[in-house]
Every structure is written in C-alpha cells, then in structure tokens.
Amino acid sequence: MFESLQERLSGVFDRLTRRGALSEEDVSVALREVRVALLEADVALPVVKDFVAAVKEKAVGQEVLRSVTPGQQVVKIVHDELVAMLGGVAEDEGAQAGQPFELRGLGLNLNVTPPAPILMVGLQGSGKTTTTAKIAKRLAEREKKKVLMASLDVRRPAAQEQLALLGIQAGIATLPIVPGETPVKIAKRALQTGALEGYDVVMLDTAGRLAIDEALMAEVAAVRDATKPSETLLVADAMTGQDAVNVATAFKDKVGLSGIVLTRVDGDARGGAALSMRAVTGCPIKLLGTGEQIDKLETFHADRIAGRILG
Ligand code: GDP
C-alpha cells in the first residue's frame, strides 16, 4: 500500500527541499501536486481539500518561509497534518510503560465485567472471519486472555465450520454449533457460556453480505442490542478504496463502531481508504491486517503510517 503515493510525494518534496529559499508561489505549486497525488491515491475529495488548506495555512507563515530550511519545514508540516488526519498520536499504555512494540497489547477495550463481547462486522470477503481469529490469538498469547469465538453467520453454509477450523489451527475455543439457532440466540449462548466457563473475551463474528442492505444492518443491530459489545469493529478491505469508506459510514450510522480494522494492506491498495477513513467517519483505525496468515495483524499508528508515506 502507498507505493505510488510515496513515490509521487517524494518527488514533490525532493524538489522543495533542494531549493534554498521558498516563495509562497513555490509552496502553492508543491501543494497543487500534493493535492493531485492524494486524489490519485483515492483519498476522498473533502479530506484532500481540508488537508491542503491546513498545510497551506501553516506553511505560508513568514517564519517558515524565512527559516534556513523552508522546504524541510513544509515537509514537517505535511507530516504533522497527515498524522492529525489519521487520528493523531494515540495514547499508548505500552509505549508509556516502555514496552517494546512487539510485546504491546492490541489496545482494545476489555474493561467490562467479563466476558467482554467483541462484535466483528463487515461485508462478506472483507476478511472478517480471519481477523476474528487473528485478534483472538493475539489476545490469548500476548494479553493472556481466555478467548471464546462464535460465528453468528447462519446464512453462508460452512461459515460456522470455517471459524471452528480456524479455532483449531489457532488453538482458540469456539462455541459448539447448534443448527437452527438465530444469530441473537447464538450470541446470547456465547455470552452465557463465556460467563459460566470463565472466559475473558467472547468474539462474535457476524454474517456479511456482498453489499450493505437493510436486513444485514437490522441483524447486526439486534446482536448489538442483545450483547452490548465493549468493541464493535468494522473489518474493511483496503483494496476497495472509497467503497470501504462508504461501508464504514453506513455501519457507523446504523450500528455504531468503536473502531476499524483495515485488511489487505499488504496488497497494492492506493491507500485512499486508510487515509480517508478517520476523517470521514470519525472512527479510529485500530488494527491492520497485513497478510493471510494468522499472525499478520498490526496495531495502527498514525505516525508510523505518515512516516511510511513520506519515506
Ligand atoms: P469474511 O468473508 O469477511 O469472513 O472473509 P475471510 O476471513 O473468509 O477472508 C477472505 C479472504 O481474505 C481469505 O482468503 C483470507 O485469507 C483473506 N485475507 C483476510 N485478511 C487478509 C489480509 O490482511 N491480507 C491478505 N492478503 N489476505 C487477507
């Protein structure tokens, strides 16, 4: 992800930093190129407009243009605005405690009377079931949580078996399958089992559809009402660009979201979804899916992503 955007921007900033003095016009020309690069990366137009305006306002200040290294100052402003657009630098308890990055937790809210219900929502094929197992494994291994997974997908044949198989591979318990139950019934049984058997977390993998529809939203909302999740995570495919942003908006409005997991960031997505998601929906991107394998899950850090884009 971000390869072509990174290439485009590094060209613009190379030219800018090579010059000694900068005029307002130089900054305007560079920002026009940044604007085109962001639009080509499929970033939503209002987000691009706000971003360029914010950079311009800060960059044409007299102190920046009169400084010894105006080009570098402008790049720094772009970096800081990118971080802000991506949600800012989150408070990271692990970082504050000086823990190495690899050992830190996922930062999900499990701060409720156990078991903490985590509701996984999204379109079919977005990577929901895989991500459910990835998160469960991580919580079990790094955060030493006892995790139970349950598939609420009663429509797609073999969806429940798929999760059970992933559970076996990952060493995570799954709720025994009882044919004929409704999603709400399965969810309630999962929470009851979780409470009785001392689980810390119950992950609920809901059914997806190929596109947003009323029935899907009503089903997910009913499960939400029955389970009061501590996290409702949308799994969205980064490769689908602006569509992923529209899906996030629909889920946010109809179901409510506490966070977004962006999958397939290992692919050649242009990055527009990652860059627009937070600004358009107001929901934080919390995690990234970086491959098919079960351990390919990363926490999202705005400053790391901004650093990757700006090289
Ligand atoms: P669901 O229908 O939303 O539950 O989607 P699945 O979890 O079944 O995933 C659909 C496909 O996407 C599977 O082949 C997964 O292995 C693959 N997949 C999921 N997450 C990622 C990811 O982060 N990167 C890549 N490359 N593939 C992924």
* Confidence at residue 93, expressed as pLDDT on a 0 to 100 scale: 52
**Lowest mean pLDDT across 97-106, 235-244, 295-304:** 97-106
* Confidence at residue 274, expressed as pLDDT on a 0 to 100 scale: 87
227 is in an annotated binding site: no
84 is in an annotated binding site: no
Q: Answer whether 281's CB lies under 8 Å from 252's CB.
A: yes
297 CB within 6 A, ligand 1 = no
- Could you give the CA distance from residue 271 to residue 308 in angstroms, rounded to a whole number? 11
Q: Answer whether 77's CB lies under 8 Å from 55's CB.
A: yes
291 CB within 6 A, ligand 1 = yes
298 CB within 6 A, ligand 1 = no
Per-range mean pLDDT, top range of 3-7, 96-100, 287-291, 302-306: 287-291
Structure tokens at 260: 């977004």
- Beta partners for residue 235, in sequence order: 261
| Whether the model pTM is above 0.95 | no
Best residue among 169, 235, 265, 292 to mutate for probing ligand 1's pocket (most ligand atoms within 8 Å of CB) is: 292
276 CB within 6 A, ligand 1 = no
Q: Which atom of ligand 1 is nearest to 263's Cα?
A: 23
Chain segment 107-157, per-residue pLDDT in tens: 899 999 999 999 999 999 999 999 999 999 999 999 999 999 999 999 887
Q: Which atom of ligand 1 is nearest to 267's Cα?
A: 26
* Confidence at residue 222, expressed as pLDDT on a 0 to 100 scale: 97
Complex-level ipTM: 0.99
Q: Which atom of ligand 1 is nearest to 205's Cα?
A: 4
Residue given tokens 């079919």 in the structure block: 124
Q: Which atom of ligand 1 is nearest to 123's Cα?
A: 3
206 CB within 6 A, ligand 1 = no
Helix/strand/coil for 261: strand
Residue nearest (by alpha carbon) to ligand 1 atom 26: 291
Of the candidates 221, 90, 216, 197, the one whose C-alpha atom is nearest the C-alpha of residue 156 is 216
% of the chain with per-residue pLDDT over 90: 68
Q: Answer whether 1's CB lies under 8 Å from 262's CB.
A: no
Chain segment 30-65, per-residue pLDDT in tens: 999 999 999 999 999 999 999 999 999 998 877 788
Would you say how long the chain is, in residues? 311
Of residues 281 and 22, more confidently modeled: 281
